[in-house]
């Protein structure tokens, strides 16, 4: 159940007194430039969506005001833990968190209260989560993660920095280097792929631990940007323009992507209600996002509300494409080589995967008719991309359809599931060990040293 608007703003302002070492200099009464509720100001919504929906979005004053508040809200429990970096050092914080995830809080000697609060919040599964549906959603999602995700993850990653206001943290943290880009793509793929393994999201499962590590990484980014890379310290981050780094609403699009695409397909077919299988996939997405720290209000359960929440986010985020930030991130992501090795088969797969991701990105996030943004970003598909997309579909679709059919057949579904689990584990080896850390040395320099 959504908290009252007054209570939400109280939580936003409480960050200043709860974590003064991090948010003490942030004025939460100032609406950052990134937020807009002016119909005359272009938003991050594609033009075709903006013409159809934006006036209605901005007319809902309370929902818009909630979006404004979430623009200024970080992850209070994880941020409080990350703010201990000057006292403990980031490596020790990571070590304690891993131990708490693997063995329980009682295994951590002299665990700080901030760590106890962090893990306890993740352990407190809310009443609105149906864990049986989550497990079923994971089973159904193994097909997509094994057979489709390797071809679209690059495009999905590009979607996270279409806008300079939400994408700047990626640039500040040194993600422009090819090796770093590949690492971040692999970490993103690893998290969502791991979550579909049997038992992964249970309390001591690898997905639970990965979610905790992702949250800490985001909080460390917030801490290091605010302490090292703000304008008064010689960095590019201006709170009056960008607000706080990686607020809750900026994590929502990536986390709820499976739910959003499922809702979009349902509505396109004229249905407001989910099928049983769609409901399970949406529930998996909602629970993953809960573990990542998102509140229930940003994780609606029904298709119209899922779409409306995403449209409100995009419709209140000021349009801002900066080639130095967004363009460089896009080019780095699209150019990086993602093959396992330099053999001919890996090179061919990389070629097909790159074009497949480009077409997927433009169709899923920009709309078929909105070509201007794709041209601006340098990801507009050409004939060769569509040709390779077709080749990719010839490889992907038969496997997707075959496994989807087998998933509903008794006995055969168990055999198919074992094969999919085996393939997912192989992919996780290819993605490599996910560190989910951020290197403070990559940030804008300052006289303050954080170890």
Average pLDDT over residues 315-330: 86
Q: How far apart are CA 352 and CA 291, in angstroms?
A: 34
Query: What rounded mean pLDDT belongs to the chain?
Result: 89
Give tens-digit pLDDT for 150-179: 999 988 888 877 888 888 887 787 655 556
Please say if the pLDDT value at position 333 is more than 70. Answer: yes
Number of domains in the chain: 1
Say if 117 falls within a structural domain: yes
> Has residue 440 been placed in a domain?
no
pLDDT in tens, 275-292: 999 999 999 999 999 999
Whether the per-residue pLDDT at 449 is higher than 60: the answer is: no
Asked, for residue 451, whether it belongs to a domain, the answer is no
Does 446 have pLDDT greater than 80? no
Q: What does the pLDDT read at residue 437?
A: 57
Look at residue 63 in the predicted model and tell me its pLDDT: 94
Confidence of residue 442 (pLDDT cuts 50, 70, 90): low
Query: Residue 447 — very low, low, confident or very high, per pLDDT cuts 50/70/90?
Result: very low
Decide: pTM greater than 0.85. yes
CA 435 vs. chain centroid, Å, equals 16
The pLDDT tens digits for 224-269 are 999 988 888 888 999 999 999 999 889 898 889 899 989 999 999 9
Q: Which residue has the tokens 């937020």?
A: 35
For the cut 80, the answer to whether the pLDDT of residue 37 exceeds it is yes
Residue 415's CB is within 10 A of a number of other CB atoms, namely: 11
Q: What angle do CA 428, 433, 437 make, to 5 degrees?
A: 130
How many C-beta neighbours within 10 Å does residue 375 have? 10
In a domain, 441, yes or no: no
* Residues in contact with 225: Cβ distance below 8 Å, sequence separation at least 6, in sequence order: 169, 172, 173, 235, 237, 245, 443
Return d(Cα 303, Cα 268) in angstroms, integer. Answer: 11
Q: With bands split at pLDDT 50, 70 and 90, how would you rate the model's confidence at 368?
A: low
What pLDDT score was predicted for residue 172?
A: 83
Specify if 448 maps to a domain: no
Q: Which residues pair with 318 in a beta bridge?
A: 43
Task: Tell me the percentage of the chain whose pLDDT exceeds 90.
Answer: 69
70 domain-assigned: yes
The answer to whether position 181 is within a domain reads yes
Would residue 28 count as lying in a domain?
yes
CB 306 within 8 A of CB 260: yes
Give me the domain span that covers residue 285.
5-433
Q: What is the pLDDT of residues 54-108, one digit of tens each?
A: 999 999 999 999 999 999 999 999 999 999 999 999 999 999 999 999 999 999 9
- Give 296-302's long-range contacts (Cβ < 8 A, gap of 24+): 296/1, 296/2, 296/126, 296/128, 297/2, 297/3, 297/66, 298/70, 298/248, 298/249, 298/252, 298/256, 299/256, 299/259, 301/128, 302/272, 302/273, 302/274
């Amino acid at each position: 159940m959504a908290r009252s608007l007054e209570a939400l703003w109280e939580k936003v302002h409480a960050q200043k007194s709860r974590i003064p070492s991090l948010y003490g200099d942030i004025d939460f009464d100032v609406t950052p430039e990134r937020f807009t509720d002016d119909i005359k100001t272009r938003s991050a919504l594609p033009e075709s969506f903006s013409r159809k929906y934006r006036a209605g979005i901005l007319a809902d004053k309370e929902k818009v005001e909630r979006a404004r508040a979430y623009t200024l809200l970080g992850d209070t429990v994880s941020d409080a833990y990350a703010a201990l970096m000057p006292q403990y050092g980031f490596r020790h914080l990571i070590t304690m968190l891993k131990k708490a995830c693997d063995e329980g809080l009682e295994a951590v000697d002299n665990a700080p209260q901030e760590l106890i609060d962090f893990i306890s919040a993740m352990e407190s599964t809310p009443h609105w989560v149906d864990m049986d549906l989550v497990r079923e959603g994971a089973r159904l999602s193994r097909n997509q993660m094994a057979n489709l995700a390797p071809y679209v993850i690059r495009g999905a990653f590009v979607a996270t920095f279409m806008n300079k206001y939400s994408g700047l943290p990626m640039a500040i943290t040194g993600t422009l280097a090819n090796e770093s880009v590949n690492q971040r793509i692999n970490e993103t793929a690893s998290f969502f792929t791991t979550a579909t393994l049997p038992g992964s999201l249970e309390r001591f499962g690898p997905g639970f631990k990965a979610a905790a590590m992702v949250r800490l990484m985001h909080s460390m980014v917030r801490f290091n940007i605010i302490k090292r890379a703000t304008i008064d310290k010689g960095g590019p981050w201006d709170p009056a323009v960008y607000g706080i780094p990686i607020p809750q609403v900026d994590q929502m699009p990536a986390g709820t992507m499976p739910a959003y695409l499922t809702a979009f397909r349902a509505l396109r077919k004229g249905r407001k209600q989910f099928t049983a299988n769609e409901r399970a996939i949406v529930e998996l997405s909602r629970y993953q996002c809960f573990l990542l720290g998102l509140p229930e209000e940003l994780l609606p359960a029904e298709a119209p509300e899922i779409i409306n929440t995403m449209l409100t986010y995009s419709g209140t985020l000021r349009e801002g494409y900066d080639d130095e930030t967004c363009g460089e991130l896009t080019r780095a992501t699209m150019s990086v080589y993602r093959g396992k090795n330099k053999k001919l088969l890996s090179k061919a797969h990389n070629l097909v995967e790159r074009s497949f991701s480009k077409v997927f990105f433009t169709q899923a996030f920009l709309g078929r008719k909105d070509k201007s943004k794709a041209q601006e970003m340098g990801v507009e598909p050409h004939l060769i991309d569509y040709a390779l997309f077709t080749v990719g579909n010839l490889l992907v679709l038969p496997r997707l359809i075959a496994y989807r059919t087998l998933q509903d057949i008794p006995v055969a579904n168990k055999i198919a599931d074992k094969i999919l689990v085996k393939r997912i584990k192989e992919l996780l080896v290819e993605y490599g060990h996910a560190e989910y850390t951020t290197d403070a040395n990559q940030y804008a320099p300052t006289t303050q040293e954080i170890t």
